[in-house]
Amino acid sequence: MDQVKLDFDPPSACITLNRPQVRNALSPELVAHFHTALDQVQERDDVAALIITGEGTAFCGGADLKVLREIAAQSVKQAHQDSQNLMNFFRRVYEFPKPVIAAVNGPAMAGGCGLASVCDIVLAAEDAVFGYPEVRVGFVPALVAVFLVRICGEKKARELLLTGRLFSAQEAQEMGLVNHVVAKESLLEKAQELAREISQNSPTAVRLTKELMQDLPGLSLEKGLIAALQLNTLIRTTEDFKEGVSSFLEKRRAQWKRR
């Protein structure tokens, strides 16, 4: 896993994109290594949240230029498979059962901006820059558009994707893409602080809440309420709910059962 680094510091784990010589650009190898790291994080009960960041001065510069040249020569079948691999990558991060925190330490471009957008919480260094410049090289940011529309709405997404312009961490925060803008030197510390805060909560409730939040944007009001009702009913049958109520009434720290 030389293209990513994985560090465990419970209650958090950190995956660092490790191709600083090419601004941590995405490659098939990096994506494969990332999946392996996710497998390891998912198995750890002592990890409440995952942090993603980049080695060096960039978070992620998008696709590797070498890969882009190869894409231009692909057959339709190869292009479809490559696109599906990228889709699976974004979707797995978006649907990862543990909360995912992006610590954007520098430029997040194209697929790198997409990676940040599929995380649950995004922290950005004050000098971080974001952008979806795919149209400037004749590409369509199709996969990231699906998530961007959910985050900032159709009109803002249209502007960003059609112009391909870059924007600051402060603007990204204003449009809802970034949760907090922090000093670069305290970026990972803030991410770890959030992970510790999350770790105090029921893992079962956190996981189910995340699943609900993923589903709600695609549901009508009626179907959304039905989904919420079903989840509200389900959580009351869990051991974690019973432990949470007992610990609150007994004024002690909860010992979560994870079920």
Residue 37 to residue 24: CA distance in whole angstroms: 16
Instruction: Grade residue 73 by pLDDT with cuts at 50, 70 and 90.
Output: confident
Judged by DSSP in three states, 152 sits in helix
Region 101-107: mean pLDDT is 99
How high is the pLDDT of residue 185? 97
pLDDT at 79 (0 to 100):
84
User: What sign results for the dihedral spanned by CA atoms 154, 160, 163, 164?
Assistant: negative
User: pLDDT tens digits for 165-223?
Assistant: 999 999 999 999 999 999 999 999 999 999 999 999 999 999 999 999 999 998 999 99
CATH of 4-198, picked from 3.90.226.10, 3.90.1170.50, 3.40.1180.10, 3.30.43.10, is 3.90.226.10
The CATH topology of domain 202-249 is Lyase 2-enoyl-coa Hydratase; Chain  A, domain 2 (1.10.12)
Specify the pLDDT at position 66: 81
In the predicted model, what is the mean pLDDT of the chain? 94
Q: What is the domain partition of the chain in residue ranges? A: 4-198, 202-249
- The residue with greater pLDDT, 70 or 195, is 195
* Confidence grade of residue 77 (pLDDT, cut at 50, 70, 90): confident
Between 157 and 251, whose confidence is greater? Answer: 157
Nearest to 97 by CA among 246, 244, 228, 214: 214
Point out the residues that are catalytic. 134
Question: In this structure, how many other beta carbons lie within 10 angstroms of the beta carbon of residue 203?
Answer: 19
pTM for the complete prediction?
0.95
Which pLDDT band holds residue 144 (cuts at 50, 70, 90)?
A: very high
Q: What is the pLDDT of residues 19-36, one digit of tens each?
A: 999 999 999 999 999 999
